[in-house]
Amino acid sequence: MDQTIPEVIRTVPLQYYVFFASALFAIGVTGVLVRRNAIIIFMCVELMLNAVNILLTAFSAYRADPNGQIFVFFIMAVAAAEVSVGLGIIVMIYRNFQTTDVNLLSRLKW
């Protein structure tokens, strides 16, 4: 076990990471499109962000450039902030409407 973490990452070819991340991202997008529960939609968005994280980490390791991994930290921090605000909004919605179904909220239109 004398390999560094980037070396371990590099044992898998880069395109696998790209395909994996893209698939994860696509699953996230699909989830956003097909689910109606606000919380689940939001979780799917998180999935998309995690796909991005994986992609950035892989690129970062392959290029031996720390910038990508630092970006991942920022994404995680910001996503945490987003989660707290998002859950706050969803809780507020639930209090007022007793539901988290996004399609029931369509008074603003046209």
Partner 1 sequence: MTSIILLSIFGILNLFMGFMRSNKVLLPGAMLLLLAVFGANLADWNVVHAPYFNNMLVVDNYTVAFTGIVVLTTIVLLPFSRSYVVAGETNLAEYYALLLFSLVGAVMMIGYNHLIMLFVGIEILSISMYVLAGSSKRDSRSNEAALKYFLMGAFATGILLFGIALLYGATGTFVLSDLAGAVAAPENASLQPMLYIGILMMIIGIGFKVSAAPFHFWTPDVYEGTPTFFTAFMSTVVKTAGFAAFLKLLAVALPGAQGFWLPTIQAMCALTLLLGNVGAAVQTSTKRMLAYSSVSHAGYLLIGLVASRGNLTGDAASGIFFYSLAYSIATIAAFGVLKLVADHRQRDDYAALNGLGKTNPLLAFSMTVAMLSLAGIPLTGGFFGKFFLLAAAAGQGYIGLVVFAVIMSMVGLYYYLRPLIAMYLRPAEEGATPVPVDGIQTATLALLALLSIVLGIVPGFLSGIL
Partner 2 sequence: MQETVLPGANAPYSTLLYVLIPLLPFLGFLLNGLLNRKLSGTVAGLIGSATVLGSFLISVMLFLNFEYQYTVQLFDWISVGSLQIPFQYQIDQLSLIMLLLVTGVGFLIHVYSIGYMHHDENVGKFFSFLNLFIFSMLLLVMGANFVILFIGWEGVGLCSYLLIGFWNKNTAYNNAAKKAFIINRIGDLGFLLGIFLIYLTFDSVQYAEVFQKASTMQIGTGVITAITLLLFVGAMGKSAQLPLYTWLPDAMAGPTPVSALIHAATMVTAGIYMVLRANVLFTLAPDTLQVVAIVGAATALFAATIGLAQNDIKKVLAYSTVSQLGYMFLALGVMGYSTSLFHVLTHAFFKALMFLGAGSVIHAMSNEQDLRRMGGLRKALPITFLTFLIGCLAISGIPPFSGFFSKDEILAHAFEHNKVLWAMGLLTAFLTAFYMFRLLFLAFFGEFRGTAEQKHHLHESPASMTFPLIVLAVLAAVGGFMGAPMFTGGHHYLAEYLAPIFTYSQRLLPAAFNAEPDHNTELMLMGLSVAAGLLGIILAYVFYVVRAQRPAEEEAQRSGPESLVYHKYYIDELYNAVFTRPIMALSNGLYKFVENGIINPVVGVFGRAVNGGGTLLRYVQTGAVETYLILMVIGIVLILGLNFGRF
Q: Which residues are at the interface with partner 1 (CB under 8 A)?
A: 18, 21, 25, 28-29, 32, 38, 41-42, 45, 48-49, 51-52, 55-56, 59, 63, 65, 67-68, 70-71, 74-75, 78, 81-82, 85-86, 88-90, 92-93, 96-97, 102, 105-110
- How far is the CA of 100 from the CAs of 47, 85, 92, 106, in angstroms? 19, 15, 10, 12
Binds partner 2 by CB under 8 A, chosen from 33, 81, 95, 96: 33
36 contact, one of partner 2, partner 1, none, CB 5-8 Å limit per kind: partner 2
User: What whole-number distance in Å separates Cα of residue 91 and Cα of residue 85?
Assistant: 10
Rounded-to-5 percentages of helix, strand, coil across the chain: 80, 0, 20
42 contact, one of partner 2, partner 1, none, CB 5-8 Å limit per kind: partner 1
The yes or no reply on residue 102 touching partner 2 (CB under 8 A) is: yes
User: What whole-number distance in Å separates Cα of residue 73 and Cα of residue 60?
Assistant: 13
Q: Which residues pair with 37 in a beta bridge?
A: 101
